[in-house]
Structure 1
Amino acid sequence: MTARLQDVTARIGSVRELGGIVDSMRGLAAVRVQQARRAAVAVETYAGIIQEALVRIAPMLPADRETQPPGQAGQTGAIVFCAEQGFAGLFSEHVLDALHDDEKEHLFLVGTRGNAIAHARGLIPQWTAPAVQTPASVPALADSITEEIGRQVICGNLARVNLIVCHAVGQEKATVLRQSLFPLDPALLEKTSPSEPLPILNIAPEKLLADLVADYIFSRLCLAALHSFGAENQARSERMTAAHHEITRQLKSLEQLQRTVRQEEITSEIIELVSGPTLAKLKRFKRRSAAE
């Protein structure tokens, strides 16, 4: 086997090994997308129950209640969910592009890879955390975000908090969504049904409202983390699928080159074998002619 054929064969082996890694990453990403979607259904049900409870107690609250702390109209923060790992294309870039100028001073960023990209852009997050790698880690992340946001609001550093997350529905391309997280939209509490009786409470409606708002924000953060987890892995799956197609194309080209090189070597060997006796006869004929 010549050096050229050895090089082509070694290259084929390397490409096949890379293809195995790419296929493993693609399969893992696809599994995580399905995990995120199944978990999101349960969280949406939980959020719906909390929202229904908020609607039920809304008529029991004072008519002059405030939905937003006074004197803090200019302070706005943003929670952005970026990628945790690489091979997700421009996932984090698209999320960071959705930031408004007034949100950059109070930036809460989730995702290690996104944090590196944010620093490269000159953005310094006020708070960071790694993104989840399994749906089971979502409640802990949402709880830590809720605690930090609550602390900032109580200290008077924030009056509004927006949520920026990438969401993919089915096989459609993911889109970046901007949602208001805090304060709650007043329209949410106005969706009352006069025919339903008011619930019987053992605690003050204001205290119950505060607890339900915290639970509702927690559920929204859980849902955002799951949407981001699914969208990131869907983007990674798409990248790995494209890489799989490119590896398949390269393998076909290399295998064709391998066959061509091998055929050239076989042809050369046959020519050497056939031409060997002929050259020997020609040398004997030349010696005989010279002797005569």
Structure 2
Amino acid sequence: MSNKLSEVQARMNGVHGLESVVGAMRGIAAARSREARSRLDGIRACARIVSAAIGDALLLIDDHASHETAAPDRDAKHDASMVIVLCAEQGFVGTFNEHVIDAALASSTAYVRTEYLVLGDRGIVAATERGLNVGWSAPMITHADEVPALADRLTGVLFQRLVAGRTTRVSVIHATPNPTASVQTVEQTLLPFDYGRFSATSSATSSSSPAIARRNPPLINLAPQRLLSQLAEEYIFAQLCEAIMLSFAAENEARMRAMIAARTNVHDKLEALTGDFRRLRQEEITSEIVELSAGSIAADRPSKKPRPEPTRHCGNGSVPSF
């Protein structure tokens, strides 16, 4: 009985330690998600600045030339696409990677060939199991400060492949923070680059006043077409920064929800072990009481000794009686 009791006690100590680890992981995930959310405003402000610069640069190019900057429409059934898939770098995220990969598979059904650029070690394993054509992969960030470096690296790889091959469409698929328990994914088209989203207005226009077209074009020292292409690349870089930051925040939210579920399971297990410990301890106490009671009763009983048999004396000697 004592061996079982010590075994349950050891398991309870282990579960208490696991509870501390789960609580720490939950706190870290919450802090990282909050930090990632706080960085989004800066990234979006940068994207707005580049967007305004593109609008100014469009003033330098007539309508005919501006339409030529975007990739022409082609038959999707005869062209290839490139999908950037942002997955989780670390574990304990539930079905986070599976939802993102399912969205990536659904987005590429209209193309003959699709090459996937996968970020996140956990996602790479899941993508390989699903049979995705992973042409390039890299680790996902583990801290918000790593976003610019990863986005810059991804932008370089993206444009290298565009120059080398025939790709008519490039998109990025990632998860976004969601207050519910489900994983919400978003697909954003990077190329063909839609210049129609940007209006040729003054970058200094106040948000409270209507857009006013700039009469005088900006002074530049680059060819207008080259300037516009570089600004488009900067805007794609900002888009990738935002997508990576949103995915990082969503990953940590998924981990936080997983830790909440794990904490509930730990509490349930701890309650079950506590019940077993109390039951075994009660049985041990009862057994000790029974043993002590039995020993006390045995000590209180009077001892019965056999009486000696009488003897008869005959003559000079003694003869026992029969």
Partner of 2:12: 12
Deviations 1:101-132 (A, max 9, x none): 33863111111110011111111311111000
Partner of 1:146: 155
* 199 and 171 in structure 1: CA distance in 2 versus 1, 3 angstrom threshold: farther
Q: Normalising by structure 2, report the TM-score.
A: 0.83
3-state DSSP of counterpart to 1:159: strand
Higher helix share: 1
Of structures 1 and 2, the larger Rg is shown by 2
* 4 and 278 in structure 1: CA distance in 2 versus 1, 3 angstrom threshold: same
Question: Which letter maps to 1:202?
Answer: I
Alignment of 1:59-138 (within 5 A): 59-65=59-65, 66-70=68-72, 74-99=79-104, 100-101=108-109, 102=111, 105-138=114-147
Deviations 1:229-265 (A, max 9, x none): 1111110110011101111121122122212221221
Pick from 145, 158, 164: which aligns with 2:167? 158
**Root-mean-square deviation (Å):** 2.2
* 291 and 43 in structure 1: CA distance in 2 versus 1, 3 angstrom threshold: farther
* 172 and 116 in structure 1: CA distance in 2 versus 1, 3 angstrom threshold: closer
Question: Which letter maps to 2:251?
Answer: E
5+ long unaligned stretches in structure 2:
202-210, 309-322
Alignment of 1:168-187 (within 5 A): 168-169=177-178, 173-187=182-196
State the distance in 1 between where 2:157 and 2:112 align. 16
State the distance in 2 between where 1:129 and 1:208 align. 30
* 291 and 87 in structure 1: CA distance in 2 versus 1, 3 angstrom threshold: farther
5+ long unaligned stretches in structure 1:
none
State the distance in 1 between where 2:188 and 2:2 align. 64
Residue range with higher mean Cα deviation, 182-191 or 112-121: 182-191
Q: CA deviation at 1:155?
A: 2.2
Q: Is the 8 A contact 2:55 2:200 kept in 1?
A: yes
* 291 and 19 in structure 1: CA distance in 2 versus 1, 3 angstrom threshold: farther
Partner of 1:211: 230
Partner of 2:218: 200
State the distance in 2 between where 1:191 and 1:62 align. 11
State the distance in 1 between where 2:227 and 2:179 align. 36
Q: CA deviation at 1:17?
A: 1.2
Alignment of 1:210-229 (within 5 A): 210-229=229-248
Q: CA deviation at 1:188?
A: 0.8
1:33 aligns with 2:33: yes
1:3 aligns with 2:3: yes
* 43 and 71 in structure 1: CA distance in 2 versus 1, 3 angstrom threshold: closer
Q: Is the 8 A contact 2:33 2:250 kept in 1?
A: yes
Question: Which letter maps to 2:99?
Answer: H
Q: Is the 8 A contact 1:72 1:158 kept in 2?
A: no
3-state DSSP of counterpart to 2:262: helix
Q: Normalising by structure 1, report the TM-score.
A: 0.91
Deviations 1:31-85 (A, max 9, x none): 1101111112211111111112212322332211314345865221111101111
* 178 and 198 in structure 1: CA distance in 2 versus 1, 3 angstrom threshold: farther
State the distance in 1 between where 2:62 and 2:165 align. 24
- Stretches of 4+ aligned residues off by more than 4 angstroms: 70-73, 169-173
State the distance in 1 between where 2:122 and 2:53 align. 38
How many residues align? The count is: 289
Higher strand share: 2
Question: Which letter maps to 2:95?
Answer: L
Residue range with higher mean Cα deviation, 145-154 or 194-203: 194-203
